[in-house]
Each structure stands twice: as structure tokens, then as C-alpha cells.
Amino acid sequence: MSMMGELTYFLGLQVKQLKHGTFLSQSKYCFDLLKKLKMEEINEVGTPIATNCLMDAYEAGQPVDSTKYRGLIGSLLYLIASRPVIQFDVCLCTKFQANPKESHFKDAKRILKYLKGTTNVGLWYPCDSDITLSGFSDSYYAGRKLDRKSTSGTCHLLGSCLISWNSKKQACVALSTTEVEYIVVGHGCAQIIWLKHQLLDYGVKLSKVPLYCDNTSVINILKPGIMLKREIVKFNLLKLKINWLICLQNHLLEIGLIS
């Protein structure tokens, strides 16, 4: 074993340790990827995906080289380590690796155009951040054109530091926005419980953890004593877990509304 000095670069991840915190980025990886694909001079865009983009497996257009498309998607997946903002868009593009069309490749290249203008963006972890855990949940209702399934999205912060994020297609077809948000809050609750147990290993015991969502109906459903005529059986256990936590005098979990 030998001392190699302060960590600055590891597997494509740049680590800049400053006096007030640590900054993680993959700017060099972005530049190398653009150079590899000969896209250094492409025009920049402000968003990684168009707001009216509904990708479909049966898009019209000529098929493209699936090997090249898979290589691009694999490279973009590695960027999620420091760029959570592109996770939803990259995971959407992964659904069409079997038979990609020109439109799919165009949407994937739009992510590169977004990265071209944000190569220096990364994750900042300040030294003076409070040790308070909080969670946020949101959803994209029936956004999948193929099967009309919704997408769950959660993130968790330790103080002002982003430590966990997730964007995943739901396994079932929801019939309402309330049902979609109900599933997302369940996932967020499960992640908070796991994070609380992990923090206990470091001697950090949190007495109150807020979980925010933007659906008033879900908050009312999760109140103790509220019963529904129809519920998702799979996530009823999480509802019981949330209600149990809310009923405790220590208030281990709070459900809050965020606009």
C-alpha cells in the first residue's frame, strides 16, 4: 500500500476537494464522449428532452446501427453517477435498444447537446451542511406511449446534499394521478426507512424525517383512520407502515405538501 495523495480522479469521476466542500463532476468524460462521437461542434440546448417528446417503439423512419446506439446509451448511463437530471431521459432511450430508429437516435443525441452546454455541472457537497434527512416524490402520469404506464421519481437530501435519486417506470397501470402518487410516496417511504438504518451505522439518529409530495389527495389518504373502497394491495403494507410511523409520539415520518 502506498500513499498516492488526495483523490482527484477515479473511473471517470472528477473529485475536487475544496475548503468549503467537495465537488463531483464528469466534465472530462463528457468532453471525451463528444469527441468520440465527433460532436464537439454541435449546438447546445437547454433541456435534455423535448417537452412534447413521446417516444414509441414503432416510430417511422430508417433503422440505425443498434451497436452504435447501444454504445451511446451505455456511455450516457455512466453519466447518471453525477448527472441525475438526465436519468429519466436516458432510461427512456434504453427501451428501444433492440430496434432503434432514426428518431430514437435523434432523441439520444439531444441529451448530448444538453451535456455540451452543461459540462461543468456536477454535485456539490458542502462541509457545513446540516444532518437532516428529507425526501421528495413526484410522478409522470401515463407518460409511456407504449403501455400508458406512469413513471415514479424520488430524491432524498441529507441537509442540502443530494444522496439518493431514482426514476423508474411503475409496474402497474394506474387509473388516476392519486394512485400514481400513492405508489411513489410508498417508494419514497421505503427509501427513507433504509437511509435511516444506514445513518444509524454512523451514529446518526434522526427523530423526524419529512417526505414531500404535490398531491393533496395522497396526503389525506395517508392520514390515520382513512379507509378506501379500492386500494393497491401491493402498497397497502407501506401505507400501514407510514400510518404507524405517523401515529408514534416521536413522529418518525411526516407527510407534507409541496407546490
Domain ranges, ordered by start, for the chain: 9-122, 129-257
Label residue 233 by pLDDT band (50, 70, 90).
very low
Give tens-digit pLDDT for 162-194.
999 998 888 888 888 888 888 888 888 889 889
Higher-confidence residue: 120 or 242? 120
Phi and psi dihedrals of 146, rounded to 5? -70, -50
Burial state string for 59-74 with b = 16 or more CB within 10 A and e = fewer than 16: beeeebeeeebeebbe
Residue 122 clears pLDDT 70, i.e. is over it: yes
pTM: 0.80
Give tens-digit pLDDT for 49-107.
887 776 766 666 788 899 999 999 999 999 998 999 999 889 888 888 888 888 889 88
Looking at residue 2, what is its pLDDT? 61
What kind of fold does domain 129-257 have according to CATH? Nucleotidyltransferase; domain 5 (3.30.420)
Q: Are 20 and 126 in contact (CB under 8 A)?
A: yes
Distance CA 146, CA 256 (A): 33
The residue to which cell 473511473 is assigned: 11
Q: Average pLDDT, whole number, for the chain?
A: 82
The amino acid sitting at 217 is S
Distance CA 151, CA 92 (A): 10
Beta bridge partners of 150: none
Phi and psi dihedrals of 254, rounded to 5? -120, 140
Give tens-digit pLDDT for 18-49.
999 999 999 999 999 999 988 888 899 989 98
